[in-house]
Each structure stands twice: as C-alpha cells, then as structure tokens.
Amino acid sequence: MSTYMDEYKKKLITAEQAAQLVQSNSIIDYGMFAAKPVDFDAALGKRAGDGLENVAIRGTGSILPIPEVIKGDPEQKSFQYFSWYFTLLDRKACDVGLAAHNPFNYHEATLLAYNPDFSHLWPDVWVSQVTPMDKHGCFNFGLGNSHSRGLALNSKIAIVEVNENMPLCLGGNDEYVHISEIDYIIEGSNTPIFTTPPSPDPSPEDRKIAEYIMEDIKDGAMIQLGIGAMPNLIGNLLAESDVKDLGIQTEMFCDSFVKMYEKGRITNAKKAYDINKSTYSFCLGTQDTYDFLDGNPRVASCTVNYTNDPTRVAMHDNVIAINNILEIDLLSQVCSETSGLRQISGTGGQLDFVIGAFHSKGGKAFLAFSSTYKDKEGKVHSRIRPMLTPGAAVTVPRTQVQYVVTEYGKANLKAKSTWGRAEALINLAHPDFRDDLIASAKEMKIWSRTNRIPF
C-alpha cells in the first residue's frame, strides 16, 4: 500500500490543474450518469472563453448539477456538449441548441472504446468519479461500469475524481482501473451522489399493462427491466408474487430489484452463467438501491457488451425483457426515444434485449405503453399511429418487434403479415381511435376485407 501511496501522491492534482490539461480541438469523456465528474466539470467550465476552442464534451445521461461546460458557456465559445443518452437536463439543453445526441446501440459502446478502427472517437481526456483507492491500488467505477475501463485505457489522459460517497460495486468484470493505468487523481469535494426520487404511483392503465406481462413470467425466468416507471412496477409486482428463482441480467440495476431480493424472488440459480449473481452495467436510483449495491457480492458490475450483447443474453433460457416505448405505427415500427425530431432519451439497450430475448429459448420481449397520452393543452392522442410522427427515430424495426402491450391487451407481432399487424395493433388502441386507425389502414393498403386476420 505504501508503494501505491507514493504513486498516488505523485499523481494527485487539483481540479483546476486537471482542467488546465484540456487543449483546444480535444474530445473529453465524462463518466456516465451518477459517475459524472463534479469538481473537474466546475473547473473546466470556468475556462470558457479563455482561448479554448472546439472542445467536445461527451456525457451519458446528464444529471444535476447542470454541467458547468453547458451553463458556463451559453455561446459555445469553447465547448460543445454531446450525450449518448438524453435525460430531462439534456433535452432542455438541446432545446436551446446547447447539446446534441450521439445515437448508438448500447452494447457496442465497449467495442467502440477498444477497437482501433474507431480510434478517432477515443477521448483525449477521460474523467470519471470513482471510489477511493483500495489497498491493491484499484479505483472502482462504482455506479458507472459500462465501457469506462476501455475509455480510461485508450484516452491520452486518464483522470479519476475520487468521491468517498461512491458505492463500491463489485465485479463482474472490468469494474476498476489501477493506479498504474491512470495519469492523474483529483480528490473531489465528496458531493452526495445523485439519486432519483421513488417511482410515482402507477396509474390503473399501468397496472393493467403489468398484469398482462406478469402472465408470461414463470419460475426461473431471467429478467431485464428497462428505464422507466413501467419496468419498475413489474419488478414491484414480481416482488409480491409467488414466482421464484428469478435471474437478473440487465443494463440498469433498477430500484425494484432490491425489493425482489428482499422478498426472496431473485436467486439467479437458473442462469446459464453468472450463477447466483445478478449482472448489470450501471445504476441510477435511490440511496437505498446504492446502499444495497455497496460491497454486495450477490450483484456483479460488468461491461455493457457483457450484459447487453444479444448473443450473450440469448444464452440464458426464458429471458423476459420489458421496456417502455413512446409510439408505434400500424407497420409496427417502434419509436422509444424521440418525440418527432425532439430527442427524449436514446436507443440504449432496448434493441439489444429485444433481439436477445427473442433468441433465448422460451424468451419474450415486451414493449409496453399506455394507449394514449395528453399534450400540454390537455388533448388526448393515440400512441398507436398510422405512421410514426414525422422525424421520429425508429428504435426497434418492425422485423424485430415481438410482444406489444397496452391496457387493452397484448399481441405477438413476430412474423405477422402487414394486415395482421395492423389489426392486432388496432385492437390494442384506445376505442376512441380505432375507427380512424382502420380508415388509415385501408388507405395504406394494410387492411383486408375480412374482419379477422388469421396471421
């Protein structure tokens, strides 16, 4: 330890000194979600307009505090901000021209971080919050494993910002970086790690959707829950059910997994690999969830290619993947990430798990959504549309869609005809919109003369 402490002291610098390492025409990568650097960002933001130009900052799921490189440079004299996955903060920044989105399938992040064919994407400077160094000279990535190690190893300058409040998230794989592999250390101000409020109470529609999905979750199923209220609701219902021996392989560790553990629903005994461990790649949740993960050997922090690669997901039997979507058209094209041209979130790992679950023996991928929503003026709209909103991104192509679920039922669209898809989706729509959808389907030549489509 003394040897490591000597090296530690040599590499220790202030956040202000670290910010001075950034040069014009650089790419800077921030730690993802709750691992976003706080002190370094504040120091770098103060350099806006001091001669720095064309510095690209990449984050993932921006959270409070608002990045100073955005707030401190509204004219973008020095910084341009990019995000792999949008949050409310990213959306607001994008609305005023201060952020842009980087689309990708999440399981590819680790591959991009290591593959020299994409070295033009590698950061000049990588900075992330980490745990304090352990006696072996290792800094744990905490809540943000993902592709952090690849970024650290292949950046020109690797900097860790130590936060004593960061949970120690055991591996897994590649959950740490060694002091010999980094260039500088910042001892941060130990700000509290960002937490999310508990999920709001579910609506009656949400509960009905959850009930339809619960019918297909059997003993020994391997569960993936996406980001959002609906997946968390499913987890809470599973916790109160009598289903047993559930396994977890997911990109995000959800709050409801803690309750499932407490109720004895999760054993991971039936998994094809990582027996007795829940595998995940990052976490954004409540403090109770962070406390559960801290030093817990029953959960394993892994790289995102390990958790999300569809071929690896499919190695488990009975994979149940549950994700939210924003809208679907009568051709069964799914948008889960934009409202027209406005970026709302990102593809994330949704497509990864839709494909992986389908190829799993006994697996099923559910795309869940309420049939309607209200706009700012209170007008009700159908989420099932003749065509996607102009400008909407296709998150899941129609060829990959399996189960879709609303409060009016569920349908397996895999390999159905265009006629069959249209009828199945119209049956899942709110009754007030079905006649208009039928009329649109006729105009689109995807409606037959018969009332019921055999396939």
Q: State how far the Cα of 84 lies from the Cα of 88, in Å rounded to an integer.
A: 13
Task: Name the residues annotated as catalytic.
Answer: 251
Provide CB contacts within 8 A for 215, sequence distance 6+.
Answer: none
Provide CB contacts within 8 A for 386, sequence distance 6+.
Answer: 329, 330, 437, 440, 441, 443, 444
List C-alpha distances in Å: 196 to 34, 49, 285, 365. Answer: 10, 33, 5, 26
Sign of the CA dihedral with 414 first, then 415, 418, and 424 last: negative
Q: Which residue has tokens 């745990």?
A: 131
Q: State how far the Cα of 345 lies from the Cα of 88, in Å rounded to an integer.
A: 8
Q: State how far the Cα of 128 lies from the Cα of 200, in Å rounded to an integer.
A: 30
As given in the structure block, the two tokens for residue 306 are 């390990």
List C-alpha distances in Å: 321 to 282, 348, 388, 444. Answer: 17, 13, 23, 31
How many other C-beta atoms lie within 10 A of the C-beta of residue 72? Answer: 18
Could you tell me which of 133, 128, 176, 99 has the C-alpha nearest to residue 32? Answer: 128
* H or E element that contains 247: strand 247-248
Could you tell me which of 171, 176, 352, 148 has the C-alpha nearest to residue 277? Answer: 171
List C-alpha distances in Å: 407 to 212, 285, 300, 412, 422. Answer: 8, 27, 34, 15, 17
Provide CB contacts within 8 A for 12, sequence distance 6+.
Answer: 184, 185, 186, 187
Sign of the CA dihedral with 278 first, then 283, 285, and 288 last: positive
